Amino acid sequence: MGKLLRNLLKSPMFVIGVSIFVLTLLIAIFGPLFYNVDTHARDIVAGPYAGSSSAHWLGTDHLGRDYVSLLIAGLRSSLYVGFVAGIIATTIGVLIGLFGGFRGGWVDEVLNMLTNIFIVIPQFVILVLISSAVKDGRSLTLIGLIIGLTAWSWSARAVRAQASSLRSRDHIALARLNGASTLTIVIKHVLPYLLSYVFMVFIMQVSSGILSEASISMIGLGPVDSTSFGIILNQAKDNGALSDSIWIAFIPATIVVTLTVFALYLINTSMEGVFNPRLRK
């Protein structure tokens, strides 16, 4: 494990990706300590679309709220939704893929059929339908929950393939001969081999969760009484920023969400290059 970690630290993609993502986390966590986010993101501090100044670095939005505060609040919300969705989708996908792929037989067939059903159903359509039905009760946690419950299928498919390849290994056969139960074998002898792979799945699910929330929020179906990147872009679009070429209302939010997702992509790609021997060759 130490050798793999050293190889990761030698990867420019990994270092760049981690650096960018850690920076976003630090801004989301500690930004309110240096910038009055709760007040500035809620209260009107200047005129609509006021220009940048020493007090308001990126100016204001259509209501006169400080734009930097909105970005920090949006970053916190988007990361929260991404992590909630990532935890839920990864947990469900790993459990279904792990037990189905390792157990085989009718269990695998039933779980694989369920996975295939969720794969062929467009996730975005489900998100739109559920978000439209919830209406006034859409919170950040609920949006993350909905995204996680609809995004686990490809994780299950990927983990199932890995678990199936481990089923015939010698150490698994030895554990069976010693009388270990399926649950014990999965926890002690299968899951440790998949931890790096599960972590990569989680990273991509977080990234997918951030983009999914931004997508549904941009069409007006995001969390109620919250601020996220999608909501910032939706409000800018609905209040004439695009038609009036007020690019400051779009560009910063787009850059931040793009950098966040791109950082996660770099981390995942670099980890796959280190943990997959065939890619290293």
pLDDT, mean of residues 13-33: 90
- What's the pLDDT tens digit per position in 45-82? 667 677 666 666 677 776 778 888 888 888 999 999 99
- Does the pLDDT of residue 44 top 70, yes or no? no
pLDDT one-digit tens code per residue, 155-213: 888 888 888 877 777 777 777 777 777 777 777 777 777 888 888 899 999 999 999 99
Domains of the chain: 77-275 (1.10.3720.10)
Instruction: Assess whether pLDDT exceeds 50 at residue 279.
Output: no
pLDDT digits (tens, 9 = 90+) for 101-131: 877 788 888 888 888 888 888 888 888 888 8
DSSP letter for each residue of the chain: -HHHHHHHHT-HHHHHHHHHHHHHHHHHHHHHHHS-HHHHTTS--SSTTPPP-SSSTT-B-TTS-BHHHHHHHHHHHHHHHHHHHHHHHHHHHHHHHHHHHHH-HHHHHHHHHHHHHHHHS-HHHHHHHHHHHHGGG--HHHHHHHHHHHS-HHHHHHHHHHHHHHTT-HHHHHHHHTT--HHHHIIIIIHHHHHHHHHHHHHHHHHHHHHHHHHHHHTT-S-TT---HHHHHHHHHHTTTTTTT-GGGTHHHHHHHHHHHHHHHHHHHHHHHHH-HHHH-
pLDDT in the model for residue 107: 81
Mean pLDDT of the chain: 82
